[in-house]
Amino acid sequence: MARRRLEAALDAGREISKEQDPFSKLTTLSHIPVQRELAGAYSLQFSLTGNQLAVGFGNGAVQVYCAACKNMTTKLPFSQLYNPENGEMNLALKKGSSRRGLAVMSLCYHPLDNGIILEAGADGNIGCWQLETSMCTHSLQEDQNEINAMDFNLDGTVFATVGKDRHIRMYDSKTFELLQTLEAPNPLIEDVQPTSGHSRRIYAIKFHPTDNYMFITAGWDNSLKIWDRRTKGGAKRVIGGPHVCGPALDIKDNKVLTGSWVAKGSLQLWHFQERSLLQTIPFPAGKGGEFLYCAQFCDHDVVLAGGSGTNSAQAIQTKNGNVLGSVDGGGKAVQTLDAIRGGRLLAVGGLGPQITVGKLE
């Protein structure tokens, strides 16, 4: 959530104002082809300026594209895991990394230095990469874990990871020292309460955009948990309901957006403080159901969400449910999306043959 604060500062400099005319449509700008050996896009994020788009793939690759011209500018070393000439996996990586062709589930540009990318994957490995040199400067391994998500706090000094083992780990963003672990409850040896922690895999984490210590997590156990990293003893508040299976969690203006992997009523707004459901946003779906994997706030009361029910992403006005446009996933699930400048630049990816770059206008 450090990025949203920095985005707001840049937007103020560009005189991007929420008082401008509301969005009326979603426009496609370009398509980035995804080679079959990459095994689909599992994570993506724009750089703070929007000139680059980093994408994490199912085979462990990370590639960085020029967002405006759709050409690849950087291919990090572990993108060579798969050799298309002989169809073999190459397991020899720099800096002792252990990437084994497993998906890059989360990646972030470092909010204090946009020349650095952090990536985390289903093998439990975290890598820190200098884009200018394509060198890995730090590598961490979370044993017996599959990392599903990570996020930076407001001032960018701490990042946190969550995943299969249900623990929440906090790291110093400069030294990569493990600062704190909020351990998941063990029902065999302790009395588990709703605030004790998650009982199943965690798939999303977001720090609060205006508070340096508060953050929220969500996953398979049909609950959101609100935490304060200054205090011990579990989550501070719990919101029951959302079944989150991907990066379908966002916070803005004291509202929480969730996308659930369910057939109906998947897209919802919650009050952060009062823990109450504010709205279920209609998500257009046919017989295949909704089944969302990803969701994010944009400006002018618009949200962007996508998944496997419709194999598409939709831009929807929350006040009236109007759909401003959609991005087709090519008949495959949409698994990841990102929007900056309030939606004036966005990208959508998944298991389909291309990544779509577009904008709300």
Q: Tens digits of per-residue pLDDT, 133-166?
A: 888 899 999 999 999 999 999 999 999 999 999 9
11 or 108: which leads in pLDDT: 108
Average pLDDT estimate for 90-98? 31
Residue pair 122/128 in contact by the 8 Å Cβ criterion: no
| Residue 85 banded pLDDT, cuts 50, 70, 90 | very low
Please, where are the H alpha helices in 104-229? Answer: none
What pLDDT, on the 0 to 100 scale, is given for residue 140? 94
The answer, yes or no, to whether residue 77 has pLDDT greater than 70, is no
| Residue 334 banded pLDDT, cuts 50, 70, 90 | very high
335 or 16: which leads in pLDDT: 335
Residue 211 to residues 2, 154, 156, 187, Cα–Cα distance (Å):
10, 6, 12, 32
- We report the CATH number of the domain holding residue 246 as 2.130.10.10
What pLDDT, on the 0 to 100 scale, is given for residue 325? 98
What pLDDT, on the 0 to 100 scale, is given for residue 9? 64
Our count of domains for the chain comes to 1
Average pLDDT estimate for 29-54? 93
| Residue 98 banded pLDDT, cuts 50, 70, 90 | very low
Give the range of the structural domain holding residue 196, as residue numbers without chain letter.
2-360
What pLDDT, on the 0 to 100 scale, is given for residue 11? 63
What pLDDT, on the 0 to 100 scale, is given for residue 184? 92
Q: What percent of the chain has pLDDT over 90?
A: 75
> Cα-flanking dihedrals φ and ψ of residue 3, to 5°?
-65, -40
Average pLDDT estimate for 211-219? 97
- 203-239 in b/e form (b: 16+ CB < 10 A) is bbbbbbbeebebbbbbbbbbbbbbbebeeeebbebeb
Average pLDDT estimate for 286-302? 96
| Residue 214 banded pLDDT, cuts 50, 70, 90 | very high
Average pLDDT estimate for 39-51? 94
Average pLDDT estimate for 209-230? 96
